[in-house]
Amino acid sequence: MYKSIEIPQLELKVKQPVGLFINNEFVKSSDGETIESINPSTNKRITSFYAASEEDVDSAVQAASAAYRKVWSKTSPADRNKLLYKLSTLIEREKTTLAALDAIDAGKPYHSNALQDIEQVLDLTRYFAGSADKYTHGEVIPLNDEKYAYTIKAPFGVVAQIVPWNYPFAMASWKMQGALAAGNCIIIKPADNTSLSLLYAAQLFKEAGFPPGVVNVLPGLGNVTGTALCKHPRISKISFTGSTAVGGKVLESSGQSNLKDVTLECGGKSPAVVFADCDLDKAVEWTASGIFYNSGQNCTANSRIYVQEAVYDDFLKRFRKHVSETWTFGSKFDVFDPECTVGPVVSETQFKRIHAMTNAEQCTDDDNPSEWVKTQTCEYPTESQSKGFFIPPTIFTNVKQSSSLMQNEIFGPVVVVAPFKEYDEAIELANDSDYGLASAVFTKNITTAHRFARDIQAGTCWINSSNDEDVTVPFGGYKMSGIGRELGAAGVETYLQTKAVHVNLE
């Protein structure tokens, strides 16, 4: 149930699990279906792995249900703490391999991106290890002399989790470690085109000592494995990260099955607002990182930048120069090259989609594409250089607020920069979106900064920075960007339900 993968840039040979991870064992899918994993840097096959069927989902649910009933529900918070901390030591031991798998599978620059993802996984695993006995207790409520009540924070039991392809192991860890700290058993589906690192990590949970059935990893297709998880009557909660359209289907499936509790982290079209009194060079650095890191494949990417008219031209000049010097493919179009800071987008499908969204011939009449000014800060690679899915950092100006470039999530290294006059206009433009995941504001005026944080309709607001999440701080969206919160105390509490107990002393 393993295949060998060689990564010559690191002189690394990986023994890669390719089976479904159910009940602490890697097994074949019931119908033998497999999925091929493609390296987006080269458009070459990496390997193939088994894809879970509806029958396999049911097998995993049975394993998780039995594990919860017989073992995990009786495991103390202190013991869950020890298991998660042991897991963190194993992740640290394997961080080179885990980062390398994400580099080849998701096209992440190894040095500037993939390794950083694993460092965050280490931080959050240790944080959630310490959370197992801190956010899981209830409270006593005195009612009168003869009666009191208390609450119990109870795990859901069996929860399902579906994660996207842009942060294969990191995003999975946001969900898995919090759910385990809360005392749940989990069944998690990685994205079908970036499943390798989570499959590799599955064996670390077993090595850490998690009992069989507590952690189950089911790679597969969304319309098969994902749908079966969403509709299964013995799953009590589902946590999904991905597109808003699919998030809506997850909610619908919950209503059609057993009204399972749902947490959603969906799309974004995050604004960054730059006021004239800010440190302009720092605003340039932060906003460039906020859109071009991870090739723009971030739900929180600040893909709309609004700059006050007084400094608009200066900002744009500095921004273009900084991006051309800093955010590049490197000379080798190789994600293991230390000079590579922009990798390919994840797939040919995503590559073609971004092309369609940024190509004037594909746009609607409302967009007025003839007025757009498009700047690419480096060139597409020639076929002799790379057959991968590299898209240059691209800057658009002269784009109307109603344009699809302004309103729709592109999920690639594409940004729109536009001017504004005063605060009221800036906040109106920033809030003119169906999404509300994140935002950023750049100013030295403390009143402007906190007024913006108050007025912006988004789950996160960065003041004088962008996209610098911390595992201790809750994360989630407003409007069509989602329901619920992850990370911080919320990352455990979202996997608990409250039971009230009334005690009569008479």
Please compute, for residue 491, the number of CA atoms within 13 A of its CA located in the half-sphere on the CB side: 27
Amino acid letter, residue 473: V
Query: CA-to-CA distance for 500 and 482, rounded, in angstroms?
Result: 28
Instruction: Tokens for 266, please give them.
Output: 């969906």
CB count in 10 Å sphere of residue 466: 27
Question: Are 87 and 122 a contacting pair, CB within 8 Å?
Answer: no
Joined tokens for residue 50: 């088994």
Residue 231 CB neighbour total at 10 angstroms = 19
CA distances from 293 to 73, 192, 268, 287 (A): 40, 22, 15, 10
Query: For residue 315, what are the CA distances in angstroms to 220, 300, 428?
Result: 45, 21, 21
What whole-number distance in Å separates Cα of residue 480 and Cα of residue 408?
12
Question: Vertex 113, ends 336 and 386: CA angle to 5°?
Answer: 40
CA distance 178 to 486: 8
Please provide the DSSP assignment of 163-223 as one string.
Answer: --SSSHHHHHHHHHHHHHHHT-EEEEE--TTS-HHHHHHHHHHHHHTPPTTSEEE----II
Distances (CA, A) of 199 to 157, 194, 437: 23, 10, 29
Q: Report the SS3 class of residue 305.
A: strand
Query: How far apart, in whole angstroms, are the C-alpha atoms of residue 341 and residue 113?
Result: 8
CB 14 within 8 A of CB 97: yes
265 part of the active site: yes
- Of the candidates 234, 235, 264, the residue with the CA atom closest to the CA atom of residue 249: 264
Of 265, 409, 486, 493, the active-site residue reads 265
Angle at 394 between CA 389 and CA 395, to 5 degrees: 165
Active site residues per annotation: 265
